[in-house]
Amino acid sequence: HQKIVEEGPVTVASQESLREMEIAACNLARSVGYVGAATVEYLYLLDTNEFCFLELNPRLQVEHPVTEWISGVNIPSCQVMIGMGIPLWRIPDIRRLYKKSVKEDTYFDLATEEKGGPSGHVVAVRITSEDAGDGFKPTSGSIDELSFRSTPDVWGYFSVKGGGGVHEYADSQFGHLFAKGETRTEAIKHMLVALADIKIRGEIRTTVDYLIDMLQCPGFVNNEVSTSWLDERIEAQVKPDAPVWYLAVIGACVCKAHHVLQGRMA
């Protein structure tokens, strides 16, 4: 299955634990001679304040805009500059992250220098062609309409558009949205507005309605999620409320009345 939500920065672990994770990640990369962008993932045990290694992905993560928005670092741009032979300590975004002047060219050691903290909070959601009401089983088919507009607080991209589709051999993810706020609560609010504004019509099922419901449930709002939290929701068959059918009838009546009134005034 696909991940559903990613967010940052970490809000449940202590700063000491986060620093230990950073050091362990760097030590791991050095021990195997790894050079390049990578993501080291851990599992964190809230009760004991301990963490354990999960995996190292030797590539730029799909959800890298989360890191970019809270750090102010354009990671793909940094990769290009490093490929050109520019050291990290000379890259403007990195110097800003470590609170160094971009007008100077003085060397500093990233391993020992203290960097600035994250700015705001970012929540990301993956839009997939999965049926949340049927255990997130993948679906395929045509997409007749797909409409989404980015805003100053929400950015997103889709790999398909209206008139296209998702075939049975494709990855189920076809969209990714990122919402930023000064706080986690504000980021969630911005994401909810963006999800409500999406229009996807076609043969496929999507996770949009499920995400809207999930982002508002107490467990997520209070940040009480765990690695088993979503499985428990699926097992409990938690589903978003179905739209009230008579609202469509009321909307059609209002639309019809508007057209009739316009015809009489013409």
Beta bridge partners of 223: none
Cβ neighbours, 10 Å, residue 60: 15
Positive or negative torsion for Cα 217, 45, 37, 20: positive
Pair 75, 64: CB distance under 8 Å: yes
Q: How far apart (Å, rounded) are the C-alpha atoms in residues 51 and 20? A: 9
Q: How far apart (Å, rounded) are the C-alpha atoms in residues 182 and 65? A: 16
Would you call 77 helix, strand, or coil by DSSP?
A: helix
DSSP 138-173: E--EEEEEEE----SSEEEEES--TT-EE-TTS-SE
Active-site annotation holds for 201 = no
Pair 127, 206: CB distance under 8 Å: yes
Q: Which residues, including other chains, have CB under 8 Å from residue 171's CB and lie 6 or more apart?
A: none
Name the catalytic one among 19, 59, 90, 201. 59
End-to-end CA distance of the chain: 55
Cα dihedral 189, 195, 198, 203, rounded to 10, equals -170
Length of the chain: 266
Would you call 53 helix, strand, or coil by DSSP?
A: strand
Q: Active-site residue numbers?
A: 59
